[in-house]
A and B are shown apart, each in its own frame.
Chain A
């Protein structure tokens, strides 16, 4: 049986996080009232100083390269990780956003802080808006009087900031997810729901044969495959258990906990190596 969810989802085009949200919402029969697909303008504003044709070509090449690299990393991690298999989103045949909502819109923007997006959010009739990735939002967006939801890969306040998935494993032994209402601080918004999950389980791997590139592929694979799935799972668990309107957000003490930054590749490798060496892993 399906039910509608009184929310607007701002879904970033072609992101695995958006795909994960839609796939898992669909599996659970939860239909968002409104979906707005965010399409980033072409060419990328970062190289807009170049002649138009050249910058368009560079943008196209970079996107194609990223796309094929992601496909490779997705496949790699898909075959390597064993647990949560039933929840794996189908990244290869994603749900078309416009086919799984009551109301649909597309918006072309230069960045997440584009004026067009600010106005769009201001005019939205929905009290709750979920943004599926895209960068740090400016205060103007956060002050429009809506509850902008974000699922962060870490149990806040203990794990705030970047690379939350790996920092959670390193400092707390398992990945954790938190859904909170965004405010101007980094991951300091009022908490709606949070929980921890089991560590990913891998096929037993001969780590001596792994090169640095493989470690990087596993890291990227976790970021684009496994982490989005857990974020989406947490969100869906939350809306299945609670009515968003009736939830009581819990404010964070900003002096409590810690903000982590991007993990150094050396430390990252160590965390991934420990995941690969875990006792719970299975021999192929």
Chain B
């Protein structure tokens, strides 16, 4: 018995990855969307991948946004300050959910809630239903208090 439906999450990840426009690469930069796609496709989250996911969580928890590019130390680059598109935020939520299927990681849940806030008023129509379902599941997990 898993907390979230892993198969559904993987299907949604694949759908999102297909929709995403991959930005071009620049030397000595981390291409956030490409990196998210890689994390979305990987089966396990260990070592460096885990650390980088924690860094991305920190970006959302503190700055409330993800940039398309970071330098190799995961710091923002002045020449490339563009924010990732909404689909990428949804992909990020799905990646965090994927690593919450076996046991709850409240730190990731916290970041998921913050990312939901970013999408609240502007998520693409096609994603609304899927987003609402995951949100409902999290609400249920946290106790449905209004």
Interface of A toward B, CB cutoff 8 Å: 167, 170-171, 207, 258-264, 266-267, 269-270, 273-274
Contacts and interface: CB of A to CB of B under 8 A. Distances in A.
Contacts of B27: none
Contacts of A171: 106
B137 interface: no
5 contacts: A261-B61, A264-B110, A264-B114, A266-B142, A267-B109
Interface of B: 54, 57-58, 61-62, 106-107, 109-110, 113-114, 117, 139, 142-143, 145
Nearest to B113: A264
A170 B61 contact: no
Nearest to A262: B61
A149 to B, nearest CB: 26
Given A171-B106, A260-B107, A261-B110, A267 B142 contact: yes
Contacts of B142: 266-267, 269-270
A263 B110 contact: yes
A65 B61 CA distance: 28
A258 to B, nearest CB: 6
| Closest 9 pairs (CB-CB, A-B) | A261-B61, A264-B113, A270-B142, A264-B110, A266-B113, A170-B106, A267-B110, A270-B143, A273-B145
Given A264-B113, A264-B114, A273 B107 contact: no
Contacts of A274: 143
B113 A258 contact: no
A57 B110 CA distance: 37
Contacts of B54: 258
A170 B108 CA distance: 13
A171 B105 CA distance: 9
Given A260-B110, A261-B57, A262-B61, 9 more contacts: A167-B106, A258-B54, A259-B58, A264-B114, A264-B117, A267-B142, A269-B142, A270-B143, A273-B143
Nearest to B57: A261
Contacts of A167: 106
Contacts of B145: 207, 269-270, 273
B113 A267 contact: yes
